[in-house]
Amino acid sequence: MFDNPADSGATTAKLEGELLRSLERQKGEAIASQRLFARVDARIKVAVRPADSSQSARPSIAGTTADISRGGCRLLLPVPIGVGDHYRLEFESTEHPLPLTFARCTRCQLVREDAFEAGLQFAVSIDLPPSLYRPPSDLLG
């Protein structure tokens, strides 16, 4: 592979240096700018139910969005949900009307003993109401 065995060490060191510089450039803002849809911080109550009709009799899980985009959301929940499972999300907001949506859980992690954070990807992108992009009236002064 290498003509000179001494070159392999130099090549590896150069590659490691390039990889480290690449990781340093990957700040949160850079990663967020590569997202397909921009996220909006929003606290909206949501009822989470299994999407499978055979599981529809199971009780819903009451949660709150931490953020939402056209393609998915981040939820704060009192119990974990299954990664890879599909769920029916019913948003409970009169201020920010959102449609009933089906989503797949892409991650779920323990935040503390009674709180979990889950990332969900919507089956179909949704239109976010313009009210989500306006600052709350109490911040307008």
Q: What are phi and psi of 127, to 5 degrees?
A: -90, 125
> Which CATH number is 40-133 given?
2.40.10.220
Could you write out the three-class secondary structure of 4-64?
Answer: CHHHHHHHHHHHHHHHHHHHHHCCHHHHHHCCCCCCEECCCEEEEEECCHHHCCCCCEEEE
For 129, list phi and psi in degrees, rounded to 5: -70, 145
Summarised one tens digit per residue, pLDDT across range 80-90 is: 999 999 999 99
Mean pLDDT, the chain, integer:
82
pLDDT-based confidence at residue 133 (cuts at 50, 70, 90): confident
Q: What are the helix (H) ranges across 26-104?
A: 28-33
Q: Which two tokens stand for residue 87?
A: 């769920």
Residues 44 and 89 sit within 8 Å (Cβ to Cβ): no
In terms of residues, how long is the chain? Answer: 141
> How large is the average pLDDT for residues 43-66?
92
b/e per residue, 42-73, with b = 16+ CB within 10 A?
bebebbbbbbeeeeeeeeebebebbbbbebbb
Inter-residue long-range contacts of 52-59, CB under 8 Å, 24+ positions, other chains counted: 52/86
DSSP state of 112: E
Could you read off the pLDDT of 18-31 as tens digits, one per residue? 777 776 666 555 55
Kindly report the pTM of this predicted structure.
0.69
